Amino acid sequence: MRFDPVRDRPPSPAGSRAYHQVRATLFNGEILVQVPYRPGLVSRVRRLPGRRWDPKLRVWRLPDTPAARNALRTILGVDPTRAVPKAVVGVPADKPDPPELLQRFDEEMRLRGYAVRTRRVYLGHARRFLRDTGNAPDLPTDLRAHVLKRLESGRVSRSYHSQLISALRLFCSIVLGRPIEELPLERPRREHRLPTVLSREEMQRFLAAVHNPKHLAILSIAYSAGLRVSEVVRLHPEDIDRDRALIQIRGAKGRKDRYTLLSATALALVDAYLEGASPGRWLFPSTRPGRHISARSVQKVTAAARRRARIPKPVTPHVLRHSFATHLLENGTDLRLIQELLGHASVRTTEIYTHVSRRQLRRIRSPLDAPSQEQEDTDVAVVE
């Protein structure tokens, strides 16, 4: 019978369901401990002697010593004394372990200049693939089966599907040494969805529902400059060019710098937020010292403001960026200028806002509202 480190361990002393998800595996003279993120569990793990967190593999590493095993048994109820043979977990003895493959994958992405967030997401896809297949998969069969399994796990968007394909193709090509053209991985057909846009009246209601000066400054800057949420949370005080009425965006998507608009109204809200305070390194710092406010916090603030403003549309920070571009287009701003302000690499990306702009549609009258031709002829005859 295949050894299961969860099923075959002693009963948990805590009796909690979360403890049944604790895994302890022996690899290369170390104990790898996986625990779900629970404050109580994490505090117990920190009591283990010699433990250290591996951010790449997202596991706790402990030296394989009698003291460490006894501590695991006492504190977490995990007994790793039964070693897991490599053949049992699907790792041939003459091949690297899955953690080594993931480490190599991360190093190759770092050498190629991939962003931190991209590396983290791609490592997650590769980790789940290796967990299902081991490090010596039958690629033509296992890749197809793994992708189908992920698609059947729940409601999966086309963007997630495409991201999964990108991660697996990169992993197989630069780590497993298989050319991309040999892999049975096809991208899904692209969706053509129009962005959600708030009207000007809805935007006024939305901003009026934000009462915290800091949050109001963040959302006003995001809308008035068309910023991504990752860009607005990383603003530095020196990025605000008051004399030229511009905002400098550094290292945005694609590692590109650009300038965008600085609204006088938004600047006044920023000054009101900064009155009597010094933000330090970040324009919008977090409550944790030395860090900027998180993108997740801005998303929560946006959702709360939408509920207070009673706006039925789904509103996210990116909807503010869509609204910025659409309102500029309706005001007659040239599409290429909007492209530069948004930081789009291609004008084709910006052209999507022409489909939601009312600038051209307002010139057309619906046939339900327009008088019929017969009525027009009758009116002309009466006049004559």
CATH number at residue 241: 1.10.443.10
User: What are the two backbone dihedrals, phi and then psi, of residue 247, each rounded to the nearest 5 degrees?
Assistant: -120, 130
Average pLDDT over residues 166-184: 82
Pick the closest to residue 248 from 232, 265, 260, 231 (CA basis).
260
Residues 351 and 215 in one domain: yes
SS3 content of the chain, % helix, strand, coil (to 5): 50, 10, 40
Please tell me the distance from the alpha carbon of residue 267 to that of residue 258, in angstroms, as a whole number: 19
Residues 172 and 222 in one domain: no
| Secondary structure (3-state) at 32 | strand
| Of residues 23 and 103, more confidently modeled | 103
Residues 210 and 347 in one domain: yes
For residues 327 and 200, the answer to whether their CB atoms sit within 8 Å is yes
Instruction: Write the CB contacts of 132 (distance below 8 Å, at least 6 apart in sequence).
Output: 142, 145, 146, 149
**What long-range pairs does 152-160 form, CB within 8 A, spacing at least 24?**
158/188, 158/189, 158/190, 158/191
- What average pLDDT does the chain have? 80
Give the residue from 182, 208, 230 where a domain finishes.
182
Total domain count, the chain: 3
User: What are the two backbone dihedrals, phi and then psi, of residue 355, each rounded to the nearest 5 degrees?
Assistant: -85, -15
Residue 203 C-alpha from the chain's centroid: 25
Query: pLDDT grade, residue 384 (50/70/90)?
Result: low
Query: pLDDT grade, residue 94 (50/70/90)?
Result: very low
- The model's pLDDT over 239-281, given as tens digits with 9 standing for 90+, comes to 999 999 999 999 888 788 999 999 999 999 999 999 877 778 9
Share of the chain above pLDDT 90, in %: 35
Residue 164 C-alpha from the chain's centroid: 13
Residues 38 and 104 in one domain: no
Is 91 part of any domain?
A: no
Query: pLDDT grade, residue 91 (50/70/90)?
Result: very low
pLDDT of 68 higher than 90: no
- The model's pLDDT over 97-148, given as tens digits with 9 standing for 90+, comes to 567 888 889 999 999 888 888 999 999 999 888 888 765 566 777 888 888 8
Is 234 part of any domain?
A: yes
Average pLDDT over residues 362-371: 73
pTM: 0.63
- Give the number of other Cβ atoms within 10 Å of residue 109's Cβ: 22
Residues 279 and 173 in one domain: no
Residues 213 and 357 in one domain: yes
Residues 353 and 294 in one domain: yes
Is 152 part of any domain?
A: yes
| Of residues 360 and 189, more confidently modeled | 189
| Of residues 17 and 199, more confidently modeled | 199
| Whole-number pLDDT of residue 89 | 38
Is 191 part of any domain?
A: no
| Whole-number pLDDT of residue 230 | 92
For residues 45 and 35, the answer to whether their CB atoms sit within 8 Å is yes
| Whole-number pLDDT of residue 141 | 77
Give the residue from 153, 182, 211 where a domain finishes.
182
Please tell me the distance from the alpha carbon of residue 245 to that of residue 266, in angstroms, as a whole number: 11
Residues 59 and 114 in one domain: no
Is 285 part of any domain?
A: yes
Token readout for 196 is 């959600």
Average pLDDT over residues 357-376: 68
Residue 275 to residues 110, 214, 215, 225, 268: CA-CA distances in angstroms? 41, 11, 14, 22, 10
Give the residue from 115, 149, 182 where a domain finishes.
182
Is 109 part of any domain?
A: yes
Please tell me the distance from the alpha carbon of residue 196 to that of residue 207, in angstroms, as a whole number: 17
Instruction: Write the CB contacts of 184 (distance below 8 Å, at least 6 apart in sequence).
Output: 139, 140, 143, 144
| Whole-number pLDDT of residue 179 | 75
Residues 220 and 263 in one domain: yes
CATH number at residue 128: 1.10.150
Rounded (10°) CA dihedral 362, 367, 370, 372 = 160
Is 10 part of any domain?
A: no
Which range of residues forms the domain containing residue 149? 98-182
Is 195 part of any domain?
A: no
- In this predicted structure, which of 25-34, 80-89, 291-300, 365-374 has the lowest mean pLDDT? 80-89
pLDDT of 221 higher than 60: yes
So which residues are the catalytic ones? 228, 253, 318, 321, 344, 353
Residues 47 and 131 in one domain: no
| Whole-number pLDDT of residue 4 | 41
pLDDT of 199 higher than 80: yes
- In this predicted structure, which of 202-206, 251-255, 315-319, 347-351 has the lowest mean pLDDT? 251-255
**DSSP H helical segments within the chain, as ranges?**
39-45, 66-75, 98-111, 116-133, 139-152, 158-174, 200-208, 213-225, 229-232, 264-274, 295-309, 317-330, 335-342, 347-350, 373-383
| Whole-number pLDDT of residue 253 | 82
Residues 171 and 210 in one domain: no
Residues 107 and 218 in one domain: no
